């Protein structure tokens, strides 16, 4: 599985804010670092799922597509 970068910062109003520079729009927040990290992880997962669904919807039924696992 490919590793991505999580940048976690302490929020001025309390808690934490995180983002992933490799995935545009992926961010998370939480009261603890663990909550923030999990929120970011879920955001990345949702973004990838949405991008995958959009890409598959555009694919012709005459093509072959396979999933790729990144190590």
Give pLDDT tens digits for 6-53.
Answer: 999 999 999 999 999 999 999 999 999 999 999 999 999 999 999 999
Tokens (6 digits) for 23: 């995935």
Return the pLDDT at 21.
98
**H-helix or E-strand containing 27?**
strand 27-30
pLDDT band at residue 56 under the 50/70/90 scheme: confident
Distance CA(28)–CA(43), nearest Å, equals 7
Torsion angles phi and psi, residue 58, rounded to 5: -90, -10
What is the CB-side half-sphere exposure of residue 31 using CA atoms within 13 A?
A: 0
| More confident: 21 or 56 | 21
Return the pLDDT at 63.
85
pLDDT at 1 over 70: no
């Amino acid at each position: 599985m490919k590793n991505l970068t999580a940048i976690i910062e302490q929020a001025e109003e309390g808690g934490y804010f995180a983002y992933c520079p490799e995935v545009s729009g992926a961010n998370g927040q939480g009261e603890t670092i663990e909550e923030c990290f999990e929120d970011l992880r879920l955001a990345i997962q949702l973004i990838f799922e949405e991008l995958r669904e959009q890409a598959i919807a555009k694919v012709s039924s005459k093509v072959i597509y396979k999933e790729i696992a990144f190590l």
